[in-house]
């Protein structure tokens, strides 16, 4: 009930502005395109992927509106409890039978909950809460202490480790990227950022060297240089996906075109991780670039929201969300065209999958809430 009373408060506080329509519009366009693509990728295999995704889209949009109307500043107080719940859920996935050798989901009957997707949002809020000055009006004297950086790493490391063990290397890497971007935004010095960057690279090399990674995860990196490393498994995915996207050429083969790679289902996972291969094949280079521009618009809006946020807490949340979206888009599309390893990161708003879709609309809802509560004078938030 406290939530509902806050909603009324937000309405009072905000300065008579409306939601970020560009952000919402782009989200809706991408979601619609996602439904079309999922339909085209699965219409021949008799599954109900598109119908299921429609339900998720509806639920996600409702979530977006609800969250838009919650004062994001409330979340500071919820961080410990939300973190606790997410950690319990992340541990709980190991209690359920693996699906294709991985344990990422909690079956709820009507859909499988993937806690790692929501963990991304919780971690972003927790980091923002840590890195933003807690008291209104306080000015950070030092840019960023190593103690804070250590705490931030700890916040990311615990869920990150659990997710790595599912195993889900891609999602764990999202955490690393988001952490790095948020530390920079929160005032990390060049020296700190360099040390962290070098440390991150060394940690990655150590993980590679000491067999922290599964053999298949290593192969996925090696495939980048030679798809024939695993021509029947991941290498096959990559070859087929490149063929599909490449055959789209400049203008694409047309939406729902017959005789495409997509319609023959040559590309595995084409309604989830490889949805972009359907986009590339059917809509061509023009369509692919337009999708990329749509994501760029979302990033642009998120950065604008960050600049205009009422406080550093909101600004850092928006930056964290932007980093998360950028990383997903870059790694996912990069993977379908062979410049990034196959990590199983879905494409925001387009890939089929309930948890991820709702985590994304939840994030944009929070961003919209930050927008609704922005400061009167743009760029002044660093003093609040």
CB nearer to other proteins: give 36 or 292. 292
249 touches other proteins by CB under 8 A? yes
Contacts with other proteins by CB under 8 A: the residue count is 54
CB nearer to other proteins: give 25 or 246. 246
What are the b/e assignments for 82-96, b being 16+ CB within 10 Å? bbeebbebbeebeee
Q: Per-residue DSSP letters for 78-111?
A: HHHHHHHHHHHHHHHGGGS--BTTB---EE-SSS
CB nearer to other proteins: give 159 or 280. 280
Look up residue 88 and give its two tokens. 């319990």
Contact 298, 288 (CB under 8 A): no
358 touches other proteins by CB under 8 A? no
Calculate helix-pair angle for 312-336, 275-308, nearest 10 degrees: 160
CB nearer to other proteins: give 30 or 213. 30
Residue 333 in 3-state DSSP? helix
Q: How far apart are CA 186 and CA 309, in angstroms?
A: 14
Specify the residue for token string 């060297």.
209
Phi, psi of 102 (to 5 degrees): -125, 150
Kindly write out the interface string for residues 193-232 of this chain, putting x where it contacts other proteins by CB under 8 A and - elsewhere.
----------------------------------------
Q: In this structure, what DSSP letter does residue 113 have? A: E
Contact 267, 237 (CB under 8 A): yes
CB nearer to other proteins: give 114 or 336. 336
Q: How far apart are CA 121 and CA 323, in angstroms?
A: 12
Kindly write out the interface string for residues 124-153 of this chain, putting x where it contacts other proteins by CB under 8 A and - elsewhere.
------------------------------
| Binding region for other proteins (CB under 8 A) out of 27-35, 111-119, 199-207, 293-301 | 293-301
Closest separation in Å from C-beta 89 to other proteins:
30
Residues 10-29 that bind other proteins (CB under 8 A): none
Which residues of the chain form contacts with other proteins (CB under 8 A)? 44-47, 181, 184-185, 187, 242-250, 258-261, 263-266, 280, 284-285, 288-289, 292, 295-296, 299-300, 303, 306-307, 312, 315, 319, 322-323, 326, 329-330, 333-334, 337-339, 379, 381-382
């Amino acid at each position: 009930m406290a939530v509902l009373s806050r909603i009324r408060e937000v309405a009072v506080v905000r300065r008579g502005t409306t939601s970020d329509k560009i952000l919402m519009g782009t989200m809706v366009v991408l979601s619609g395109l996602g439904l079309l693509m999922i339909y085209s990728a699965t219409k021949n295999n008799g599954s109900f992927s598109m119908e299921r995704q429609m339900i998720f889209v509806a639920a996600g949009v409702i979530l977006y509106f609800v969250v838009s109307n919650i004062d994001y500043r409330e979340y500071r107080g919820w961080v410990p409890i939300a973190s606790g719940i997410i950690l319990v859920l992340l541990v709980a996935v190991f209690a359920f039978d693996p699906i294709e050798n991985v344990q990422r989901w909690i079956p709820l009957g009507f859909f499988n909950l993937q806690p790692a997707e929501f963990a991304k949002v919780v971690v972003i809020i927790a980091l923002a809460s840590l890195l933003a000055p807690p008291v209104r009006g306080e000015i950070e004297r030092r840019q960023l202490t190593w103690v804070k950086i250590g705490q931030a790493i700890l916040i990311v490391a615990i869920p990150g480790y659990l997710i790595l063990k599912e195993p889900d290397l891609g999602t764990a890497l999202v955490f690393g990227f988001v952490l790095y971007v948020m530390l920079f935004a929160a005032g990390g010095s060049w020296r700190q950022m360099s040390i962290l960057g070098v440390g991150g690279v060394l940690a990655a090399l150590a993980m590679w060297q000491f067999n922290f990674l599964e053999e298949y995860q290593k192969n996925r990196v090696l495939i980048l240089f030679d798809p024939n490393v695993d021509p029947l498994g991941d290498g096959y995915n990559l070859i087929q996906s490149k063929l599909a996207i490449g055959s789209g050429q400049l203008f694409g083969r047309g939406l729902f075109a017959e005789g495409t790679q997509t319609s023959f289902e040559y590309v595995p996972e084409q309604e989830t991780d490889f949805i972009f291969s359907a986009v590339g094949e059917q809509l061509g280079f023009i369509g692919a670039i337009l999708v990329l521009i749509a994501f760029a618009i979302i990033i642009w809006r998120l950065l604008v929201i960050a600049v205009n946020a009422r406080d550093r807490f909101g600004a850092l949340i928006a930056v964290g969300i932007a980093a998360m979206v950028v990383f997903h888009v870059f790694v996912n599309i990069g993977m379908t065209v062979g410049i990034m390893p196959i990590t199983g990161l879905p494409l925001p708003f387009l890939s089929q999958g309930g948890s991820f879709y709702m985590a994304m609309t939840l994030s944009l809802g929070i961003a919209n809430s930050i927008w609704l509560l922005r400061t009167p004078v743009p760029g002044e938030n660093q003093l609040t």
